Amino acid sequence: MHGLGELETAVMNVLWDADEPIKVRDVLERLDTGKSLAYTTVMTVLDNLHRKGWAEREHRGKAYVYTPAWSREEASARALRDVLDSSGDPEAVLLHFVASGSDEETDLLRGALRKKRIRRR
């Protein structure tokens, strides 16, 4: 995910895949990074994600439970927005992006643009 490190992205994937708010220990148990991680490492990553605005937390009992601040799709759209804003030439980026899309993706984009035009009226 744009703007996140490898471990942060792995933790966000656990949060996105969870059906409910989860504790640090639950995140640690579900992480599959190929490395042995300490509880405090995962706790620090979740604290950083909360501070950066990627995760929300709520005190339940003696521990925090965490949820993603936005969906995986919203995060992807925000990453694309960041790329467009920092590119210097958003038109060129969009044209290259559209050229790289499959026919199905192009149809989805056309449909989304039509819906946006209708909402503007």
CA 40 – CA 25 distance, rounded (Å): 10
Whether residues 78 and 45 share a domain: the answer is no
CA 110 – CA 108 distance, rounded (Å): 5
Whether residues 110 and 81 share a domain: the answer is yes
Under the banding of pLDDT at 50, 70 and 90, the label for residue 2 is low
Spell out the alpha helix ranges (H) of 1-121. 6-17, 24-30, 39-52, 72-86, 90-100, 103-120
Whether residues 76 and 22 share a domain: the answer is no
Whether residues 63 and 12 share a domain: the answer is yes
Number of domains in the chain: 2
pLDDT of residue 79: 87
Q: Which domain holds residue 115?
A: 72-120
Asked which of 68, 85, 109 is the last residue of a domain, the reply is 68
Whether residues 10 and 51 share a domain: the answer is yes
Whether residues 50 and 11 share a domain: the answer is yes
Whether residues 33 and 85 share a domain: the answer is no
- The mean pLDDT of the chain is 92
pLDDT of residue 67: 98
Q: What is the pLDDT of residues 48-105, one digit of tens each?
A: 999 999 999 999 999 999 999 999 999 989 888 888 999 999 999 999 988 999 999 9
Per the listing, tokens 């949060």 go with 15
Residue 71 to residues 5, 17, 18, 55, Cα–Cα distance (Å):
18, 10, 12, 10
Share of the chain above pLDDT 70, in %: 98
Whether residues 55 and 92 share a domain: the answer is no
Whether residues 28 and 78 share a domain: the answer is no
Whether residues 12 and 60 share a domain: the answer is yes
Residue 91, exposed/middle/buried by CB under 10 A (0-12, 13-18, 19+)? exposed
Residue 37: both structure tokens together: 């991680």
CA 108 – CA 112 distance, rounded (Å): 6
Whether residues 17 and 59 share a domain: the answer is yes
Asked if residue 1 is part of any domain, the answer here is no
